[in-house]
Amino acid sequence: MLDRLPAELILELAALVAPRRESHVAWLAWRSRILRLCLVCRYLRSVLEPVVWETVWAGEIELARIAQCARVSSETACPHETCACVARQDGAGWHRVKRLRLDGRFQEGLVVGPADIEVYSQLESLEVDNCRLSLTASLSPIHHLTSLWLDTINITHVQWEVLTSDHVTPNLRYLSVRRLHSGAVGFTQAETAFYFPHFAPDLVQRLGVLQVDLTDRPLFPPDLFTLECPVVLTWRCWHAAPSSLAAVSRHPRHLVIGHVYGNPAQSKQWFVNSEQRLVEWVKYRSPGARTLILPAGLSPYNRANDPYVRLGIQHLLAECAKNRVLVEWHHQENWQEEYRLHRVLEERRFASA
């Protein structure tokens, strides 16, 4: 019976049975449910197996146990096998991994070396969070990598140049950077250990979108928002409202607001503190197309929001329409949604060229 259903419907049903989550623990639970569905019949396995392999998320466990998150068969997975060991035993699956997320938030000092990346020959998206990179000039090219996300990582200037070089990441299109650290130890050093990277001309030419974070604003170079590629400024709910969104020489043309977490009272307080700056940014006249990306939770039709917030958003949207600022909505902070928004920005780039 199941083998008569189209693959698209199977994937939709699997998404309902095991919805994906944006935390490591919830992702493991999601993967466990999908694995159980793979054991129902061969047809389900053939449809769902690529979904399981698509993403590898290493979080609280060390990289040496990444096989626990990547192998399709839960019966043969061993939590104590090393990456290299599993790659030799079941090399047929590693080429299916398209997205790798290395999350060291709960394991300070997590070191990421070349072997932890090079094993995935078809890798398209790499996200590194709170890790220490240990890369050398001999790093093999990552030919299929189009998306790179670096958040609060220890990476030297030399390693940055290697990772973003045309030799290692020739097809890089989307780059997101936040809180790069050049210190020799942990992330508890003084603020002076953080730096904003240099974007070489050949890197800017390859990029379709560059995403930067409001946290790094004091480190921004004067010409950041004059680069040839679209530069997106991310403003998250925990950022204090800045005195201005302008850089030294120019306002950002693309602004994304992260999800506003918390109860309605907290959401209202954030909006009260931020509304004036958002409206100022919308009213600021700058050349070229501009885009404001808002979380769907701030929709004026969301009755869970405080009436003040709904009215404020309506006013903000009216100002966007008046000043020809394109408004996009994002529904969740995951890589597929980011891809969609990046494509929108790329299309706007070529449309305004």
pLDDT-based confidence at residue 65 (cuts at 50, 70, 90): low
What residues are paired with 258 via a beta bridge?
A: none
Task: Give the Å distances, CA to CA, from 264 to 209, 298, 302, 329, 345.
Answer: 33, 11, 11, 19, 31
Classified as helix, coil or strand, 91 is helix
pLDDT tens-place string over residues 178-213:
999 886 544 455 556 899 999 999 999 999 999 999
pLDDT beyond 90 at 75: no
pLDDT of residue 14: 67
What's the whole-number average pLDDT of the chain? 78
SS3 content of the chain, % helix, strand, coil (to 5): 40, 20, 40
pLDDT-based confidence at residue 21 (cuts at 50, 70, 90): low
Q: What angle do CA 74, 81, 44 make, to 5 degrees?
A: 20
Q: How far apart are CA 155 and CA 194, in angstroms?
A: 10
pLDDT tens-place string over residues 307-343:
888 999 999 999 999 999 999 888 765 555 666 676 7
Question: H helices of 104-200, where?
Answer: 115-118, 157-163
In the chain, pLDDT over 70 holds for what percent of residues?
Answer: 73
Classified as helix, coil or strand, 88 is helix
Q: 76-90, 129-143, 265-279, 331-345: which has the minimum mean pLDDT?
A: 76-90
Answer whether 305's CB lies under 8 Å from 262's CB: no
Q: Which helix (H) or strand (E) holds 29?
A: helix 24-38
pLDDT of residue 111: 82
Answer whether 34's CB lies under 8 Å from 18's CB: yes
Which sign does the torsion angle of CA 249, 254, 255, 256 carry? negative
Question: H helices of the chain, where?
Answer: 7-17, 24-38, 42-54, 67-70, 83-89, 91-94, 115-118, 157-163, 201-206, 264-283, 307-322, 335-352
Q: How far apart are CA 219 and CA 94, in angstroms?
A: 38
More confident residue, 227 or 69: 227
pLDDT beyond 60 at 87: no
Maximum average pLDDT range among 14-18, 171-175, 188-192: 171-175
Answer whether 153's CB lies under 8 Å from 133's CB: yes
pLDDT of residue 162: 95
pLDDT of residue 32: 81
More confident residue, 52 or 134: 134
Q: How far apart are CA 108 and CA 126, in angstroms?
A: 19
User: Could you state, in order of their start, the residue ranges of all structural domains in the chain?
Assistant: 214-353
Q: How far apart are CA 212 and CA 194, in angstroms?
A: 14
- Write out the two tokens for 302: 């969301």
pTM more than 0.85: no
More confident residue, 211 or 42: 211
